[in-house]
Chains A and B, each alone.
Chain A
Amino acid sequence: MNILLCDDDDVLASMIQFKLSREKFGDVTRASDGKMAIELLNQRKFDLVITDIHMPYHSGLELVTHIRQTLKQSVPIIVLSAEGLENTVLQAFEIGANDFITKPFSPAELAIRVKRLLQK
Chain B
Amino acid sequence: MNPAMAPWNDPSRLETVLDLSIIALLGASLFIFFLFTSRLVKGGRVRRKTKLRERFQNSINVIVELDSSHDAKPAAYQFHYSDLQKDMGRSNLAKQVMVDQLVGLKRNLSGSSANTLIKVYLRLGLDQFSLRKLNSYRSKRKAQGITELSQMEVPSATKRIKSMLRSSNRTVREEALIGLVRLDRDMSLDFLDDYTSRLSSWVVMRIHRQLSFSDKRHLPDFSRWYRHVNADVVLFAIEMTRQFRQINNASKLAELFNDANQRIATLAIEVCGDLHSVEVADHLIQLVKRDWSNDIVSLSLVKSLGKIAQNDLHWQALTDYINHPNYAVKFEAVRALYFSEHESKYLQRWPVPSTPDLDAILRHVKDPLLQS
Asked if A and B touch directly (CB within 8 angstroms), the answer is yes
Instruction: Please tell me if B107 contacts chain A, counting CB pairs below 8 Å.
Output: yes
Beta-carbon contact of B111 and A14 below 8 Å = no
Q: Are B108 and A105 in contact (CB under 8 A)?
A: yes
Which of B57-65, B128-136, B200-208, B270-278 is found at the contact surface with chain A?
Answer: B57-65
Q: How many A-B residue pairs have CB under 8 A?
A: 57
Are B113 and A12 neighbours in the complex by a CB distance under 8 Å? Answer: no
Indicate if the CB atoms of B65 and A104 lie closer than 8 Å.
no
Q: Give chain B residues whose Cβ lies under 8 Å from the Cβ of A107.
A: 64-65, 68, 109, 113
**A64 → B minimal CB distance (Å):** 20
Given A11-B53, A15-B60, A106-B113 in contact, is the A82-B108 Cβ separation under 8 Å? yes
- Interface residue B114 (Cβ < 8 Å from any Cβ of A): yes
**Are the C-beta atoms of A104 and B64 separated by less than 8 Å?**
no
Beta-carbon contact of A12 and B65 below 8 Å: no
**CA–CA, A109 to B64, complex, Å?**
14
Majority SS of interface residues in chain A?
helix
Within 8 A of A (CB), among B143-201: none
Q: Is B112 at the interface (CB under 8 A from chain A)?
A: yes
Nearest CB in chain B to that of A18: its residue: B61
The dominant DSSP class at the B interface is helix
Instruction: List residues of chain B with CB within 8 A of the CB of A12.
Output: 104-105, 108
> Within 8 Å of chain A (Cβ to Cβ): is B36?
no
Known: A11-B53, A15-B61. A109 touches B108 (CB 8 A): no
Which chain B positions have C-beta within 8 A of A84? 212
What B residues does A10 contact at CB under 8 A? Answer: 53
User: Is B293 located at the chain interface by the 8 A CB criterion?
Assistant: no
A19 contacts the other chain (CB 8 A)? yes
Q: Mark B67-99, 1 if CB is under 8 A from A, else 0.
A: 011000000000000000000000000000000
- Flag whether A103 is at the interface (Cβ < 8 A): yes
- Bitwise interface map of A from 8 to 22 toward B, beta carbon under 8 Å scored 1, else 0: 011110110011001
Cβ contact within 8 Å between B104 and A104: no
Cross-chain contact of A109 among B57, B58, B105, B111 (Cβ < 8 A): B111
- Cβ contact within 8 Å between B104 and A11: yes
Q: Are B53 and A104 in contact (CB under 8 A)?
A: no
The reply on B213 being an interface residue by CB < 8 A is yes
A50 vs chain B, min Cβ distance (A): 13
A11 touches B113 (CB 8 A): no
Nearest chain B residue, comparing its CB with the CB of A52:
B108
Cβ-defined contact, A103 with B108, below 8 A: yes
CA distance A119 to B109 in the complex (A): 25
Does B248 make an interface contact (CB < 8 A)? Answer: no
A108 interfacial by beta-carbon distance below 8 Å? yes
Among residues 12 to 70 in chain B, which have CB atoms less than 8 Å away from a CB atom of chain A?
53, 57-58, 60-62, 64-65, 68-69
Is B64 a contact of A108 with CB atoms below 8 Å?
A: no
B65 touches A22 (CB 8 A): yes
Tell which of A14, A18, A22, A105 touches B109, judged by Cβ atoms closer than 8 Å: A105
List CB contacts (< 8 Å) of A79-120 with chain B: 82, 84, 103-109
Residues of B close to A18: CB separation below 8 A: 58, 61-62, 65
Given contacts A104-B213, A106-B112, A107-B109, 19 further A-B contacts (CB under 8 A): A9-B104, A10-B53, A11-B105, A12-B105, A12-B108, A14-B61, A15-B61, A15-B109, A18-B58, A18-B62, A18-B65, A103-B108, A104-B110, A104-B114, A105-B110, A106-B111, A107-B64, A108-B111, A109-B111
The residues of A with any CB-CB pair to B shorter than 8 Å are: 9-12, 14-15, 18-19, 22, 82, 84, 103-109
What 6 pairs across the A-B complex have the smallest Cβ distances?
Answer: A106-B111, A18-B61, A104-B110, A103-B108, A12-B108, A14-B57
What would 12 A/B residue contacts be, using CB atoms closer than 8 Å? A9-B108, A10-B53, A14-B61, A15-B60, A15-B109, A18-B62, A84-B212, A104-B114, A106-B109, A106-B111, A106-B112, A106-B113
